[in-house]
Structure 1
Amino acid sequence: MAADALQVDRCASCVFMVATANGPLSMCVHNAQRDQHLASPDRIDESTGPRWWNAAVPGMSAYSDLPDLSDPALAPLNRLKGQMRAVRQARKDAS
């Protein structure tokens, strides 16, 4: 199914599911919301306190907020995928 035309009943009855932090999700829905799932920060508890890891940027952070992905130092273009890469590429082309 196209990402902008998902059919709720088909997604609910789908047998091709992917495991997410919020439970199983239809693969069609997951693909439509891919960047939201892949770029969401994950909490990692350490003895010094909670830290946050985000697949879109290198290293860990003390904050759960998404970093500014427009900063090439934080998120090089070759590490971005999907919509995040398209947004960065569009900004690069515009300047």
Structure 2
Amino acid sequence: MRILKRSALTLLAVITTLALVVGGYVLYMQHQYYRIPNHQKLTIGNNQAATLTTGKVYTATTYNVGFGAYNHQFSFFMDAGERQPPRPKGSGL
């Protein structure tokens, strides 16, 4: 009976500790939460007069600067499947 009582108290202490940690985290996140208000009036700076028209061909250029910190030997795991130097061109993969 004594072992059962001690086990129950230990389990209660663990559950209470977890509840306090999770509750503290939720309270902290709610206190730190910040959201920009809805329906703000914004002023437009540098408004352009030109508009796009139909029937005319336009070109757009994009550039991904997300991996600008890496040298040319680095291979992103989603590009080559693993984190190792890229395979040479013409290797079949």
Pick the TM interval, shorter chain.
under 0.3
* TM-score (ref. length: structure 2): 0.24
* TM-score (ref. length: structure 1): 0.24
